Structure 1
Amino acid sequence: MTVGTGEELAAKFGHSAIRFQDSSLGIDEVYGYGTYDFEDSKLLFKFYRRQTGIYNFRIPFTYFKRSYEIEQRWVREQELDLDLEQKTAIVAFLENNLLPENRKYQYDFLFDNCATVIPQVFEKTLGNSLQLNYDHLEEEFTFRELIHQNLELNSWSNFGIDLALGAVIDRKATPYELMFLPLYVYEQMKHTTVDGKPIVKTESVLVDIPAQSYPTPFLLSPVFWLLILLLTVAFMTYKDHRAKKRTKWLDFLLFFITGLAGQLILFLWFFTDHDATKMNFNLLWAFAPNLFVAFLLAKSSLPKWIRTYVFILLCFIGLTILLWLIKFQVFSVLLIFILLSLSLRYLFLRNHLRKTA
């Protein structure tokens, strides 16, 4: 079964699950992957470090269906053309995964989530009789492009994901790797065979709700607030240039916020087990030491090395743009507002410090 997208970030990419129904025995259960131990007091911290366990689950189909009716998300079902022995093998595998010693697994957003386990279950239970045909795929996408397919461009979720995930997701996904997204699993099942015959017997819509869009109101959107940032920095910098002074609170905020963002990127890169957050060169403009330099800039008297430091920051912004142009890492298009704001202020600071040296 495949579930459509929802409003919350965790629901933006849909969901996949397996239903087992036997009317003669009164069985109608859904097996899935991807629930948390919400009683764990350190759940959020462990999630950020990718050290929390994700659990398999089994729930009655009526509960499963009702939950998505409430969330206003469509549910589609593909009935599989399998014999009794094959069905038994799949159910036995799923039940074995529910044992206490097997329920917990290490979640990975790209390579081990609710969707990726679906083809894995069939591969492990059906063996060589299962054949995946990729002839229907006409385009190649990077992981970042695939993620963007499910997010509004002018949204904080899109901006935040591009900030947190590194250059490792800017490589092309293989046809098999496309199935980290539920919709690609759904499409791939139509082009999969068992013993030479299509695995999908019939398709049906269980919850018929049109696909929803959840645009961010413009006044709450990142474009609006980042544009306000750029205009504020431009206006204050122009005033400072005319008055031959420096607005300390503006410099403090710019350096403090970029430094704080850099600390977060450092944490995700070096102190978590998430693979997708490695090699993140947002660290060049969100420079972690800025967090400490911000407190120096709050003072009237500045050390001489600050001018050299600002020059290095300008070079890092140039390097960010170069990496973007050669597509070593693709940054959020919304970053343009931030890079312009920082460049403008850094250029002013360097010139101001030269004159006041």
Structure 2
Amino acid sequence: MKKYLLVILCLLAVFTLKAQTHTLSRHAEISVLTIGPGSSLNDAFGHNAFRIKDSLNHIDVVFNYGIYDFNTPNFYIKFAQGRLNYLIGMNYYKDFYRNYKEENRTIKEQVLNLSQNEKQRLLNFLANNIKPENRRYLYDFFYDNCATKIRDVLETVTDNKIKFNTPDGFKEQTFRQLIYSNLNKNSWGSFGIDLALGSVIDQKATPYEHMFLPKYIFKFFENVTLSNSGEKLVKQTHILYQKTDTPETNNFLTSPLMIFGIIGILILFITFKDYKNKKRSNWLDVVLFFATGIIGILILLLWFATDHKGTHQNYNLLWACALNILVVFQFFKKSIPSWFIRYLKFLVILLCLMLLHWIIGIQVFAIGLIPLLIALFIRYVYLINFFSSNKATDL
């Protein structure tokens, strides 16, 4: 979802001042713009905006939500905590169009069938919303983003007179499946999302909730009717710019599945050598327990120490056990206590539970993890057998 960082404040202030007192002409049109996905992760889901066009008054501007404010104190800390306020911004349409055309992203327009009073109310709402004291809002990727704002503002200015009808062939999906529809499952962006977001996004999204994605704003708005008249909300649809198809690059060699496949093979190879030589590579176990422990702590922080709703109930903790960071020092002792062997068995059980969660659909995990999970399982089993047969011996 495109973030506009450069806003000409003086022009914005002048426009806002005029918009509060100016009356739109009867030729004014208000439309919803839907921007196709971009190449980077933050652009992968598209974007939505309002366009207000009034040729008699020489107005052609775009209002869009979801803008970063890098001047916010402690920006990155607030972003990580889920407590970062985003902004509504205003751009001249020609600049808005040129920017997305240069990025080769499709631009679709849906001209809305609004009354003159509703058009004026929408303009007044946005003009008031963009005032410095009003333009910040607490962003939420699933429930309060650039797409849901379009829907919510329209419901407000029409007094909830718009009726959302499900499109033909509509199929309910989970939030994670909806994210996958815009991302390659074997990409680092998808991997990061699968690692950071918990089982709450594996719940079925209602048809209304599907509109957190810009493309569903477009699909649903095509079928919206006005409850007072039965007419359609969208009276015209235009493709303002159609992206030019470009060859897709194949990044499999640097994908999560490939990288973790190499790591998994390396772990299995070292484990096999250890088995043949009846020894244990201490450095490998320290690295594995330290890394999984740190990842587990980060997952716990995202779950309990932030306001992000999507990071709750994250069962990646079943493989990235935070307790590993506390027991890693056992590998430096001359003998291993019996409780540590039981702890290793506990880790094996956790991996089995993770597989069960995956199979029955409680949570879907990153496919790139598969080689690592297999390697961890085999390594833990080897450690159990090694320590069980070498109790109280020097390591």
- Which of the two has higher C-alpha Rg? 2
The bucket for the TM-score relative to the shorter chain is over 0.9
1:118 counterpart = 2:150: yes
Q: State the one-letter code of the partner of 1:280.
A: N
- Distance change >3 Å, CA 14–CA 298, structure 1 → 2: farther
- The answer (yes or no) to whether the contact 1:13–1:150 under 8 Å persists in 2 is yes
Structure 1 residue ranges, 4+ long, deviating more than 3 angstroms after superposition: 210-216, 298-304
- For residues 334 and 133 of structure 2, the distance between their equivalents in structure 1, rounded to whole angstroms, comes to 61
* 2:266 alignment counterpart: 232
TM-score, normalised with respect to structure 2: 0.87
Q: State the one-letter code of the partner of 2:311.
A: T
Deviation at 1:210, TM superposition (A): 3.9
- The answer (yes or no) to whether the contact 1:6–1:212 under 8 Å persists in 2 is no
* 2:83 alignment counterpart: 51
- For residues 161 and 279 of structure 2, the distance between their equivalents in structure 1, rounded to whole angstroms, comes to 75
Tell which deviates more after alignment, 252-261 or 228-237. Answer: 252-261
- For residues 37 and 85 of structure 1, the distance between their equivalents in structure 2, rounded to whole angstroms, comes to 33
From 39, 61, 71, give the equivalent of 1:39.
71
- The answer (yes or no) to whether the contact 1:154–1:216 under 8 Å persists in 2 is no
Cα deviations by residue, 1:320-346 (Å, 9 ceiling, x for unpaired): 111112211122233221210110110
* 2:284 alignment counterpart: 250
- The answer (yes or no) to whether the contact 1:73–1:211 under 8 Å persists in 2 is no
1:14 counterpart = 2:82: no
* 2:3 alignment counterpart: none
* 1:153 alignment counterpart: 185
After TM superposition, list the pairs within 5 Å mapping 1:128-167 onto structure 2.
128-167=160-199
Coordinate RMSD, CA, aligned: 1.6
Cα deviations by residue, 1:85-138 (Å, 9 ceiling, x for unpaired): 111011111111112232111111101100011111111011243221115253
- Distance change >3 Å, CA 262–CA 212, structure 1 → 2: farther
1:200 counterpart = 2:244: no
Unaligned runs of 5+ in 2: 1-32
Tell which deviates more after alignment, 346-355 or 129-138. Answer: 129-138
Tell which deviates more after alignment, 291-300 or 49-58. Answer: 291-300
From 304, 312, 331, give the equivalent of 1:278.
312
After TM superposition, list the pairs within 5 Å mapping 1:58-77 onto structure 2.
58-77=90-109
- For residues 259 and 328 of structure 2, the distance between their equivalents in structure 1, rounded to whole angstroms, comes to 22
- The answer (yes or no) to whether the contact 1:32–1:56 under 8 Å persists in 2 is yes
Deviation at 1:41, TM superposition (A): 4.8
* 2:383 alignment counterpart: 349
- The answer (yes or no) to whether the contact 1:12–1:151 under 8 Å persists in 2 is yes
- For residues 110 and 130 of structure 2, the distance between their equivalents in structure 1, rounded to whole angstroms, comes to 23
Q: Percent identity?
A: 43
- For residues 364 and 265 of structure 2, the distance between their equivalents in structure 1, rounded to whole angstroms, comes to 25
* 1:183 alignment counterpart: 215
- For residues 221 and 377 of structure 2, the distance between their equivalents in structure 1, rounded to whole angstroms, comes to 49
- The answer (yes or no) to whether the contact 1:74–1:211 under 8 Å persists in 2 is no
- For residues 89 and 136 of structure 2, the distance between their equivalents in structure 1, rounded to whole angstroms, comes to 10
TM-score, normalised with respect to structure 1: 0.96
* 1:107 alignment counterpart: 139
* 2:23 alignment counterpart: none
* 2:364 alignment counterpart: 330
